[in-house]
Amino acid sequence: MASSNDHEFSRLRAEEALVDSVGELPGRVRGVYTALLLAGRQRWRLLVRGRSDALLIGPGGVFALNVVEELPSAERIRRLRARAEQLFTGVVIGPNRNEFIAQTVEVVFVLPPGVRAQGDGRFVVVTDATVRALLSRRSVMPARLAGELAAHTARRHPDFRAISQIEPPPAPAETDGLLEVESLHTDHLTAALAKPFPTWLAFLDPAQLALVTRHYNGPARIMGPAGSGKTVLALHRMANRARHSTGRLLFTTLVKNLPPCQESAFARLLPDAVGRAEFTNLHSWAQGFLAERGIQRKMELTRTDTAFNRAWARVGRPSRLAEIGERPYWREEIDRVIKGRGLPATAAGFAEYAEVDRRGRRVALRTSQRRYVWDLYEAYEAIRTERECFDGNDVITAALDELRARPLDKPYAMVVVDEMQDMTVQSVRLVHAMTGDEPNSLLFVGDRQQQIYAGGWRFVDAEITIVGRSEKLTKNYRNRHAILKLAATLPGAQPVDDPDTRDRQTLDVADAALPGGIAEQWTCTRAELPDHIRRQLDRLVAEGISLSDTAIITITNAEADAVLRRLRRWGIAAQELVDYRCADTDSGVKVGTVYRAKGLDFRAVIHPFVEPPPPRTDAERERLDLILRQQYVAVTRARDFVWVGVVRD
């Protein structure tokens, strides 16, 4: 333990280093810089310019320090941010020559103790007494890259003087991550495989980085195959919007357990903006919004399923519909095509349904057959209304109607819609109603190849235009080459035509950024499957891959339940994906369906896949298409390792 004399000696040395580099400083400024020098000398570097202007660079980010007596005006803050970002614009370092994201620089105001103020994402507020808390920020880049960035900045801007005492010693080889493995040597690659580092928090491919700040004069879309960094870009655009506005932010999707994971990533990216950012699935948002307006619309799937089953028994099964497709097919038709488009159970509603393009549905329906569907729809609505229960579409439509009647008191500065390909038309209309066509306020993110719900739509169906505001990513940063190669051979990876741009969406193995990986596909019987899964889990442990970063992804809930029971019988810790929040405390093998795995990724994925029987009807072929796309989505959740067990009884 250091003595008081040692501490005093270090303090004097730090003050001497400051004087030698920049001359005499005001007492407060000297005290702030000295505190940082003493607390962060091994991993942080301080660059000082003038009497109250400095840069603090380390694993937790880049901070533009301003020691002030009070917060400056909004215009002054805007100019300080612009100047700080300009210092780092175009900086390219690291083995893969990725560009530092200048927009991630945090403007920090150091206030005297006792002065009350709070950061909101545009800036960070600390005091003389709490300034060292900056050094405790969660890492956004490896210490080695932080050191390179600081050295590069000192060379590029010689008016910033690096204080020698805080210079770190040569950093040991550190784990490199998502975007910088391509040109690493084998030993570095081994380290990266063992412990990937999320360098996308501070560095992006230049092509991606250009999209972080691109101006859009209306709703925009980012599309691209699995692993191409769509959500990463969305989070960075959201953070950039937060740094330049004071409004609320919303990240939403249909997947219930995905928003908490993205909230965790955003909190690491811009912790001071978390207070005005919401991360929730769209149905939860709609229910909460309606409750605030005094309207109760609770989604009750069990009760509405019962209502539909009664309608099917009363109207559907006795009709010609049973000859064309089974009950689930017609539930999807009503959910995705009819109610998903907001068609009311009226004569006018049927007239529109009779003409609607049932995009994505294989079964062709004549007008007379659509009448049978409509009769089923009307029967379902009558039973549901009588029982006073609501399905997901009822909640979305009620929120849309209320929002159109009375817009939000405080509009969102930005809404991000992830996994947009699985939205309904009404859902798309709802998020559009939150922002309208305000510039840079609405961003859709998705991939038609990963659609796992029935039906389809175009933006024009929701009265939205994205012409000139649609971006396409191609390079894969998640899946190692072997995994991408296996995924590309799956039937569910077939190219998909984008109805809005007439572009083809494909998965190209040549666009893999990460080499190596393990990808295997085995054929077995249902009885043999458990032993195969156990062997793969033992293999992962032997290879040093944590079971907490491993997922077993199934197609059905029944299959997931069977896996969970087996793991517990073996004494292996497991966590259901529905409860997974991407937190450091999450432990055990993650188990769940593809629906719960959407948008997530894991170091290792085990995917038991029960091969469906050959389809006999168009309805069964459509169902098979969806199942095969689910298999594709499951495989592309894997970063380093994937094992697919194909069950053929």
Sign of the Cα pseudo-torsion (118, 122, 123, 124, in order): positive
Nearest alpha carbon to residue 280 among 447, 434, 66: 434
Q: What is the CATH number of the domain that holds 462?
A: 3.40.50.300
Is there a single domain that holds both residue 67 and residue 211?
A: no
Answer yes or no: are the C-beta atoms of 617 and 578 closer than 8 Å.
Answer: no
Tens digit of each residue's pLDDT (9 = 90 or more) over 345-403: 999 999 999 999 999 999 999 999 999 999 999 999 999 999 999 999 999 999 999 99
Percentage of residues in the chain with pLDDT exceeding 90?
80
Q: C-alpha dihedral over 505, 508, 514, 515, to 10 degrees?
A: 160
Q: Which residue has the higher pLDDT, 313 or 166?
A: 313
- Take residue 500 and report the two structure tokens written for it: 């809005």
Q: C-alpha dihedral over 226, 231, 237, 238, to 10 degrees?
A: 160
229 is in an annotated binding site: yes
Question: What per-residue confidence (pLDDT) applies to 506?
Answer: 82
**pLDDT at 190 > cutoff 50:** no
CB count, 10 Å around CB of 388?
9
Boundary (domain end) residue, out of 366, 389, 412? 389
**pLDDT at 39 > cutoff 90:** no
The H or E element that residue 419 is part of is none
The stretch 307-331 carries a mean pLDDT of: 97
CB count, 10 Å around CB of 40?
22
Is there a single domain that holds both residue 130 and residue 44?
A: yes
Question: What per-residue confidence (pLDDT) applies to 96?
Answer: 73
The stretch 10-28 carries a mean pLDDT of: 82
Alpha helices in 40-114 (DSSP H): 74-88
Is there a single domain that holds both residue 311 and residue 413?
A: no
The answer to the question of residue 186 being in a domain is no
The answer to the question of residue 171 being in a domain is no
The stretch 237-255 carries a mean pLDDT of: 96
Q: What is the mean pLDDT of the chain?
A: 91
153 is in an annotated binding site: no
Distance of CA 585 to the CA centre of its chain: 19
231 is in an annotated binding site: yes
Is there a single domain that holds both residue 435 and residue 578?
A: no
The answer to the question of residue 194 being in a domain is no
> Which of 172-176, 218-222, 274-278 has the lowest average pLDDT?
172-176
* Longest pairwise C-alpha distance within the chain: 93
The residue range of the domain holding 113 is 4-166
Is there a single domain that holds both residue 150 and residue 24?
A: yes
Boundary (domain end) residue, out of 114, 149, 166? 166
Task: Report the alpha-carbon distance of residue 436 to residue 423 in Å, rounded.
Answer: 18
The answer to the question of residue 332 being in a domain is yes
Is there a single domain that holds both residue 517 and residue 593?
A: yes
The answer to the question of residue 537 being in a domain is yes
Q: How many domains does the chain have?
A: 4
Nearest alpha carbon to residue 380 among 390, 366, 369: 390
Question: What per-residue confidence (pLDDT) applies to 177?
Answer: 35
CA angle, corner 281, sides to 275 and 287, nearest 5? 90
Is there a single domain that holds both residue 266 and residue 313?
A: no
Question: What per-residue confidence (pLDDT) applies to 41?
Answer: 63
The stretch 59-78 carries a mean pLDDT of: 95
The stretch 211-225 carries a mean pLDDT of: 96
Question: What per-residue confidence (pLDDT) applies to 7?
Answer: 65
- Take residue 346 and report the two structure tokens written for it: 């009226």
Sign of the Cα pseudo-torsion (391, 395, 396, 400, in order): positive
Is there a single domain that holds both residue 616 and residue 525?
A: yes
Task: Report the alpha-carbon distance of residue 513 to residue 555 in Å, rounded.
Answer: 28
The answer to the question of residue 147 being in a domain is yes
The answer to the question of residue 190 being in a domain is no
Tens digit of each residue's pLDDT (9 = 90 or more) over 515-538: 999 999 999 999 999 999 999 999
Answer yes or no: are the C-beta atoms of 416 and 431 closer than 8 Å.
Answer: no
Question: What per-residue confidence (pLDDT) applies to 180?
Answer: 33
Question: What per-residue confidence (pLDDT) applies to 484?
Answer: 95
Tally the C-alpha atoms within 13 A of residue 448's C-alpha that lie toward its C-beta: 22
**pLDDT at 186 > cutoff 50:** no
**pLDDT at 329 > cutoff 70:** yes
Answer yes or no: are the C-beta atoms of 176 and 50 closer than 8 Å.
Answer: no
Q: Which residue has the higher pLDDT, 238 or 205?
A: 238
Question: What per-residue confidence (pLDDT) applies to 169?
Answer: 42
Is there a single domain that holds both residue 538 and residue 612?
A: yes
Sign of the Cα pseudo-torsion (94, 98, 99, 105, in order): negative
Please give the model's pTM, rounded to 2 decimal places.
Answer: 0.92
Alpha helices in 473-589 (DSSP H): 481-489, 529-542, 557-570
Answer yes or no: are the C-beta atoms of 199 and 142 closer than 8 Å.
Answer: yes
Question: What per-residue confidence (pLDDT) applies to 504?
Answer: 82
The answer to the question of residue 149 being in a domain is yes
Tens digit of each residue's pLDDT (9 = 90 or more) over 104-131: 999 999 999 988 889 999 999 999 999 9
Nearest alpha carbon to residue 399 among 289, 298, 248, 299: 289
Question: What per-residue confidence (pLDDT) applies to 586?
Answer: 82
Is there a single domain that holds both residue 291 and residue 327?
A: no
**pLDDT at 181 > cutoff 50:** no
Boundary (domain end) residue, out of 389, 405, 420? 389
Is there a single domain that holds both residue 381 and residue 404?
A: no
Is there a single domain that holds both residue 341 and residue 460?
A: no
Tens digit of each residue's pLDDT (9 = 90 or more) over 191-204: 334 445 678 999 99
164 is in an annotated binding site: no
Q: Is 37 helix (H, G, I), strand (E, B) or coil?
A: helix
Tally the C-alpha atoms within 13 A of residue 135's C-alpha that lie toward its C-beta: 18
